[in-house]
Structure 1
């Protein structure tokens, strides 16, 4: 199991309407990837005008509920980094690769 220092970072987020997005950087402490079928939704997405998150921390993937992703090992993401952006939904994990 990965330690906090080994969790993959969100290397880019192009979802400008998310409260945690600051200049394509995710400032949530961690994101959760969820969804069904071909959708790997960023479940941390919050479409508010109020900015949230931490000042200096860039998000990691804290949990991945997509057991059918090649990067998923025991519900933890093993990708080097993930990208969040528009997919089936406004905020999806673009690194998602089905098995």
Structure 2
């Protein structure tokens, strides 16, 4: 799977994340961790803005119990990130 084929972050409602620019994720690729609620492991609480010019993508998903997970890769067409169990969670997570 190439970087361009990775699922896009369709929206991010997490204010205060360094990668969030106007509710659009600009991390090159996020990691969804196996923490409660499928946390965005790339979340950075910083005032400086960072990231790439393009929209962010899902680089890895540690939640093997998600219906969108195939060999620790996300197969969802798009992912929403926002407040869940943690401040920044994959809201597209769906238990298998």
Output the TM-score relative to the length of structure 1.
Answer: 0.93
Find out whether 1:45 has 2:43 as its counterpart. yes
Q: Which has the higher strand share?
A: 1
Instruction: Using the TM superposition, give the Cα deviation of residue 17 of structure 1 relative to its aligned residue in structure 2, in angstroms.
Output: 1.0
Find out whether 1:91 has 2:88 as its counterpart. yes
Give the aligned CA root-mean-square deviation in angstroms: 0.9
Task: Count matched residues.
Answer: 96
- For residues 37-65 of structure 1, give each alpha carbon's deviation from its aligned partner in whole angstroms, at most 9, with x where no partner exists: 4x1000000001111111x2111100000
* Corresponding residue number in structure 2 for 1:7: 6
Distance, in Å, in 2 between the alignment partners of 1:49 and 1:94 is 24
Question: SS state of the match for residue 60, structure 2?
Answer: strand
